[in-house]
Amino acid sequence: MMLIETLDQKPGPESDLKYKRVVLKISGEGLCTDGGFGIDADELKRLGSEIKAVHDLGGEVAVVVGGGNIVRGSQIARHAQIEEATGHYMGMLGTVINALAIQDTLESMGVATRVQSAINVDRVCERFIRRRAIRHLEKGRVVIFAAGTGNPFVTTDTGAALRASEINADAVLKATKVEGVYDSDPMKNPEAKLFKHLSYNDVINSRLEVMDVSAIDLCQRSGVPIVVFNLRTPNSMRDVVCGKVIGTLVDAES
Ligand code: UDP
């Protein structure tokens, strides 16, 4: 576990990208206003601009979007006569709604996209096909992965780790509302310290809230680094792929 100073590096052209192929994991909350519900047009535009900035540099961007702004399986099952597995399927369908919103936002900005879903909804998007997803990325299309893993009882964090491992991504970029991973909750403790670097084992053993343990474990086994960063800071995603040291890097180094 290490706390280090921030280093500034200027963004460069495609060949200089530190992470050429990335999976951006954005929570459903990232599509609505703080404490809100559903989809907010301004938040969508802001997200679209961040993704476009990386795409314009030649980065290959895949997006795994959550659905917490619409339905969280375990919560809805707790409060209604709905079986938990059903709640999770509802949650996955919520992510399809979000994926379509991101798709049209990006297309309106001139960025070609494809949505691939882990649950077949053939009238609205493609099914997830690994080799086709990779081909889309190579052709410069942003691929939005919907419906997480397609299986209940897990979250889209695990979906992001899975897709990143499958498409040989250079990194998972985990978007949060704070600067990265802290030693305590920065919303409650103004003295909370930001970790600039953590190993996968640090995260798992200290039970730090980065992503689900299953997601961290899969990234560790696949050797995919995770960068946790604040997507609400303008150009932050571009800065990360260009190698600027921001947020928290999680990888195998101790
Ligand atoms: N979900 C699921 N399997 C998956 C991904 C998601 O069952 O592979 C369900 C789960 O109920 C989850 C909901 O979809 O609560 C929304 O996903 P998530 O909680 O990851 O969304 P986020 O918190 O990132 O917005």
Q: Tokens 């990194």 sit at which residue?
A: 171
Rounded Cα–Cα distance for residues 78 and 74 (Å): 6
Q: How far is the CA of 192 from the centre of ligand 1 (A)?
A: 28
Q: Which atom of ligand 1 is nearest to the CA of 92?
A: 14
Number of neighbouring beta carbons within 10 Å of residue 217: 16
Q: Whose CA is nearest to atom 14 of ligand 1?
A: 91
pLDDT in single tens digits along all 254 residues of the chain: 555 433 344 444 556 899 999 999 999 999 999 888 999 999 999 999 999 999 999 999 999 999 999 998 888 888 779 999 999 999 999 999 999 999 999 999 999 999 999 999 999 999 999 999 999 999 999 999 999 999 999 999 999 999 999 999 999 999 999 999 999 999 899 999 999 999 999 999 999 989 999 999 999 999 999 999 999 999 999 999 999 999 999 999 98
State the distance from the centre of ligand 1 to the C-alpha of 14, rounded, in angstroms: 33
- Distance (angstroms) between ligand 1 centre and the Cα of 104 equals 22
CATH 3.40.50.970 fits 16-183+202-251, yes or no: no
Residue 126: beta bridge partners? 116
Non-local CB neighbours of 52 within 8 Å, separated by 6+ positions: 106, 109, 110, 111
The token duo for 236 is 């932050």
Q: Do the bridges between strand 113-117 and strand 126-127 make them parallel or antiparallel, or are there none, so unpaired?
A: parallel
Pocket test for ligand 1, best of 74, 156, 213 (most atoms within 8 A of CB): 156
Q: What is the pLDDT of residue 12?
A: 47
For residue 19 the two structure tokens come to 């992470």
pTM: 0.94
CB 119 within 8 A of CB 150: yes
